[in-house]
Structure 1
Amino acid sequence: MNDPIYTLEQRQLAFSQLKEVKTELDARGWFPATSGNLSVRVGEFASDRFAFAVTSSGRDKSKHSPEDYLIVDGSGRPVEPTRLKPSAETLIHCEIYRLTGCGAVFHVHTVYNNIISELYAEGGYVPFQGVELIKAFNIWEEDARIEVPILPNYADIARIAALVEGRLDARVPGIVLRNHGIYAWGANVFEAKRHLEAFEFLFEYAYRWKALNL
């Protein structure tokens, strides 16, 4: 990328934020077997030109090293000389940034989000209504209902990325891949983490409610 759209200070801040979030989410067991990926936008946003810091592929997220992150452009290509590879699902991050202009995207694999995505896969979304933590998405109406989109889990990530635009709900800052995991985003790191935590609460709630009513 010519004429970088971010500063060294912004780069360092993004890496520091990723390290902090990675540490906290790993403590919850949300990165089993090197799974999951995190990203934070650096610099200004334009739908046709932006960059973000993303976790590198295959790293143990319970450890820290100088090779944990790299910067990629809006097409998922590294913008600095590096031998590191971005996370395999970086193209999905690219689409989420392009379509929403958000500041951070977090993706984790948990037992609850996997089971719930399978239970509701045929309908194409996970419904929630009247649960208090829906307010975490700035939805305040009484007895609010949301539908979290479920996308198929193709081996070809480009096929998944191509579906994102048609399934995004402007009110719901998340999508789920079937038997895979949740992508949650927000205007900044704090908001993206809040949204991720709310989704995971809702998935566990849905699972336990189903179990109680079997």
Structure 2
Amino acid sequence: METLQLERAQALVEAGRFFFSRGWVPATSSNFSARLDEARCLLTVSGRHKGRLTTDDFLRVAIESGFSLDAGKRPSAETLLHTQLYAREPAIGCVLHTHSMPATVLSRLTCGALELEGYELAKAFPGVDSHEATLTVPVFANDQDIPRLAAAVDAWIDAHGLPVGYLIEGHGLYTWGATVEDAVRHVEALEFLLECELWLRKC
């Protein structure tokens, strides 16, 4: 395994352990990826428990096609939701998908987009310097036809610009960052904000 690939894999292993400790990646849910170069990314192998990953639980994927570059390893069915982001945004270096309870529940209670307003933690995201900023998190209908779901995500981004992340109804959260460290921070921030929103709706 090349040095860069090993470094990226180890960073994602650590992310998986952290997320599992917080209850954000139950069972074998979720998937993680990191860019290797302009043509390839590293992605979790399908069906692996994200709290117990090793550096062998990843495969290389071609960004243009979404096809596995490692024989005998099957990528996630949601591979296209990762590769579409790398293909359209060269600055994205990591994409993370989690399945927390707040993200799953709020995705079912929200139609269109979730507006996160008035939170100091919004400043965890690049370009946000005030609690007065509004973070818009679109919510997409779940769809087992992943190319069709990816097309819906692309259409939203074309119309509104790149959000800080998005939700899939009854499913979970996708977010990203320039590095694995940045993407992990964005997951942590969004999961906190989603939990806050869920508590507010209980009041």
TM value normalised by structure 2: 0.91
Alignment equivalent of 1:77, drawn from 67, 74, 77: 67
Alignment equivalent of 1:189, drawn from 175, 180, 190: 180
Match of 1:178 in 2: 169
Match of 1:137 in 2: 125
Say if 2:16 and 2:52, in contact at 8 Å, map to a contact too: no
Q: Partner of 1:33: helix, strand, or coil?
A: coil
Structure 1 residues 64 and 129: alpha-carbon distance in aligned structure 2, compared to 1, 3 A threshold:
closer
Alignment equivalent of 2:116, drawn from 119, 123, 128: 128
Alignment equivalent of 1:42, drawn from 16, 26, 36: 36
Stretch of structure 1 that moved more, 186-195 or 26-35: 26-35
Measure, in 1, the Cα distance between the counterparts of 2:131 and 2:29.
37
Aligned AA (2:147): A
Alignment of 1:134-213 (within 5 A): 134-138=122-126, 139-141=128-130, 143-168=132-157, 169-170=160-161, 172-212=163-203
CA shift digits 1:56-88 (9 cap, x unpaired): 0011223244641100011211123x2110111
Q: Partner of 1:128: helix, strand, or coil?
A: strand
**Residues 1:17 and 2:8 aligned together:** no
Q: CA RMSD in A?
A: 1.6
Alignment of 1:25-104 (within 5 A): 25-43=19-37, 45=38, 50-65=39-54, 67-74=56-63, 75-80=65-70, 82-101=71-90, 102-104=92-94
Match of 2:101 in 1: 111
What is the aligned-residue identity percentage? 35
Measure, in 1, the Cα distance between the counterparts of 2:56 and 2:6.
13
Say if 1:41 and 1:104, in contact at 8 Å, map to a contact too: yes
Measure, in 2, the Cα distance between the counterparts of 1:128 and 1:62.
29
Say if 1:95 and 1:164, in contact at 8 Å, map to a contact too: no
Q: Which runs of 5+ in 1 are unaligned?
A: 1-6
CA shift digits 1:93-151 (9 cap, x unpaired): 01111122200000000110011111112xx1001111111111131145111211111
Q: Which runs of 5+ in 2 are unaligned?
A: none
Instruction: Select the structure of larger CA radius of gyration.
Output: 1
Aligned AA (2:129): W
Q: Partner of 1:53: helix, strand, or coil?
A: strand
